[in-house]
A and B are shown apart, each in its own frame.
Chain A
Amino acid sequence: MKALIKITLKNGVLDPQGKAIEQALSGLGFSGVDNVRQGKLIELELSQTDAGKARAELEDMCKSLLANTVIEDYEIELEDA
């Protein structure tokens, strides 16, 4: 099954890249844009067919490598589950 993992900076962690994007958008004339935050999306295929087991495995992957939980939150989404 396919999994999507969304990794975002925790609330309160300064995101200078998001700020730069926000300024660039405003420079392009887009008004009313606020709180731009940049994150990552990781897509992967698992051979595991049990959604519960897949989720547990993905949690493990997030904690050990995919996210740095000092500054990042993650959200796991399973497709075809």
Chain B
Amino acid sequence: MKACVVVFPASNCDRDVAVSLEHATGIAPEMVWHGDGSLPDCDLIVLPGGFSYGDYLRCGAMAAHSPIMRDVVARAKRGTAVLGICNGFQILTETGLLPGVLMRNASLKFICKDVHLRVERNDTPFTNAYDKNAVIRIPVAHHDGNYYTDEGTLNRLEGENLVAMRYCGQDGYVTNDNNPNGAARNIAGIYNEQRTVLGLMPHPERLAEEALGGTDGAPMFASLVEALS
């Protein structure tokens, strides 16, 4: 699997995710600057976490119009897998590759803590190494992760099984108490219709090896290697 990580001004999880990808594939991913006009040939494009362009205007709004994003959108439309983590998820919604928007957390607080997530399906390139409905623990670190879209779109996401992960308790139950940011229907991540694009607020790369205190994020990278190699 050949992976590219797009680096924007003020990306700050680009190198973390590069380490996770290299551990999973044995090959260092290609780091691509946002100002470049096109991506090298690759099987996976990662939009990493961070605060691209200082979150000016709206989180991800400026990055969504970076020169490189034209090629990212074109490749995504041709079926190349795209993983957007945290700010990457915000950028994906701003480009329109994923519906909805990530609003300010309902508590108004920046939240940095481990959360439990229920993996809603395990038949996608991103989750095939997880059990169906597996409960995993990885961290969130964001100020704007409150997923919002209109009821019609929420119903369509549910109806087409495009919700990738939901905030839940350790036991897997999805309740308001386990919703860290006010996200509609506890949504932590969603797929596009083809399930080739995933946006999620939590950070699998931050708990992907024992030395970091947990490995629940690692199967996401293993899944991608399995699906895309």
- On A, residues with C-beta under 8 Å from B are 13-14, 16-17, 20, 64-66, 68, 70-71
Grouping DSSP codes into helix (H, G, I), strand (E, B) and loop, the B interface class, with mixed when no group exceeds half, is: loop
7 A–B pairs (Cβ distance < 8 Å), ordered by A = A13-B103, A14-B103, A14-B182, A65-B57, A70-B100, A70-B148, A70-B149
For the complex of A and B, the 7 pairs showing the least CB-CB separation, nearest first, are: A70-B101, A16-B108, A71-B101, A16-B106, A68-B101, A20-B108, A16-B104
Question: Does B65 sit within 8 A of A, measured CB to CB?
Answer: yes
Interface size on B, residues (CB 8 A): 19
Grouping DSSP codes into helix (H, G, I), strand (E, B) and loop, the A interface class, with mixed when no group exceeds half, is: helix
Q: What is the 8 Å Cβ interface bit string for chain B, positions 87-108, against chain A (1 contact, 0 not)?
A: 0000001100001110111111
Judge whether A13 and B104 touch: CB under 8 Å: no
- Nearest-neighbour CB distance to chain A for B151, whole angstroms, equals 10
Judge whether A68 and B94 touch: CB under 8 Å: yes
Interfacial chain A residues near B99, Cβ < 8 Å: 70
Residues 148 to 172 of chain B near chain A (Cβ within 8 Å): 148-150
Residues 28 to 71 of chain B near chain A (Cβ within 8 Å): 57-58, 61, 65
Interfacial chain A residues near B105, Cβ < 8 Å: 16
Interfacial chain B residues near A64, Cβ < 8 Å: 65
Residues 100 to 141 of chain B near chain A (Cβ within 8 Å): 100-101, 103-108
With the chains together, A68 CA to B148 CA distance in Å? Answer: 12
With the chains together, A17 CA to B104 CA distance in Å? Answer: 8
Given contacts A16-B105, A17-B104, A65 and B65 within 8 Å (CB-CB): yes
- Nearest-neighbour CB distance to chain A for B62, whole angstroms, equals 8
With the chains together, A32 CA to B175 CA distance in Å? Answer: 35
Judge whether A71 and B103 touch: CB under 8 Å: yes
Interfacial chain A residues near B150, Cβ < 8 Å: 70
- Nearest-neighbour CB distance to chain B for A31, whole angstroms, equals 23
Interfacial chain A residues near B101, Cβ < 8 Å: 68, 70-71
Interfacial chain B residues near A70, Cβ < 8 Å: 93, 99-101, 148-150
Interfacial chain B residues near A13, Cβ < 8 Å: 103, 148
- Nearest-neighbour CB distance to chain B for A11, whole angstroms, equals 12
